[in-house]
Amino acid sequence: MGPVTRSSSRVVAKVAKSKAGIDKPLKANNNPGIEKRPKKTRKVKVGNSKNDQDVKKRLESDPGASTTKPSGSKSFWLMKAEPESRIVKGKDVKFRQNIKYSIDDLADMENQTSPWDGVRNYEARNIMRDRMKIGDEVLFYHSNCKQPGIAGLCEVVRDAYPDFTAFDKDHPYYDPKSDEKAPRWFVDVKFVRKFPQLILLSRLKEHLKNSKSADSSPLKNMALLNRGRLSVQPVSKEEMEFIMKLSSGDATL
């Protein structure tokens, strides 16, 4: 299973750069203690760039960010995939190497399970690598399509492991900045259920807009609405409960 496919087109662009001999070393690592990178050819002080500090700030204010998660507790996430084909430079970037992108595609896979590979954004990668755990529940979001929205539920069935697609020069997700010593990561997810109705992004936005005060909606801090571009994002317990009610067709919402 893949993430938002545009990120892979970006990866393709990076491959082209690499072939031209101008690929750059990996940027600052947000979690230096966990991922050791023997060669740091770029002089960036780890964790101190503006972006790193922004990320740190976000993680600190983020309800799912606790690293001392009590055993047995469950975290919630939202992951974006693109269910529709998209043509980039004459090539359909959706269907390749049997990778597909809608919740129906996940349901059709062997064991209804698939690696969520191809994530290249650092913050999204770090969430998968450091925070997603077996048993966590994941909202499956359909992105960049006619009807963007939350399509169903899946669960994490394998903790993070290195993203081998990043090492494979022939793979669409090949990433010249990744190798065995500085890998990208992913988790495996398993289909749980498809919602009877897509929960449209427009509906969530409408709900937020119509709530009596800025503070009264359980969606007020939802990353999907506030941080649109993050492809793997945390969902709070409150947000999750609300989405679950919506998914079961609660007419009072």
Q: Is 208 in the site for DNA (CB under 7 A)?
A: no
Q: 10 Å Cβ neighbour count for 210? A: 9
150 φ, ψ to 5°?
A: -90, 120
- Candidates 193, 227, 241, 253: give the one binding DNA (CB under 7 A): 227
Q: Which stretch binds DNA (CB under 7 A): 50-58, 103-111, 154-162, 237-245?
A: 50-58
Q: Is 45 in the site for DNA (CB under 7 A)?
A: yes
DSSP 8-state class, residue 134: T
3-state secondary structure of 11: helix
122 is a site residue for DNA (CB under 7 A): yes
Q: Is 51 in the site for DNA (CB under 7 A)?
A: yes
* 47 or 74: CB nearest DNA: 47
In whole angstroms, what separates CA 11 from the centre of its chain? 16
Name residue, tokens 């897509």: 198
Q: Shortest gap between Cβ of 231 and DNA (angstroms)? A: 5
Would you put residue 163 in left (φ > 0), alpha (ψ -120 to 50) or beta? beta
Q: Scanning residues 91 to 120, which ones bind DNA (CB under 7 A)?
A: none
Question: Of 215, 214, 251, 222, which Cα lies nearest the Cα of 239?
Answer: 222
Give dist(CA 1, CA 113) in Å, integer: 8
In the list 19, 24, 39, 193, the residue contacting DNA (rule: CB under 7 A) is 24
Comparison of 54 and 104: residue with beta carbon closer to DNA = 54
Q: Does 85 bind DNA (CB under 7 A)?
A: no
Q: Is 44 in the site for DNA (CB under 7 A)?
A: yes
| HSE of 175, CA atoms in CB hemisphere, 13 A | 26
Q: Which positions lie near DNA, rule CB under 7 A? A: 4, 6-7, 9-10, 13, 22, 24, 27, 43-45, 48-51, 54, 80, 121-123, 143-145, 148, 177, 201-202, 205, 227-231
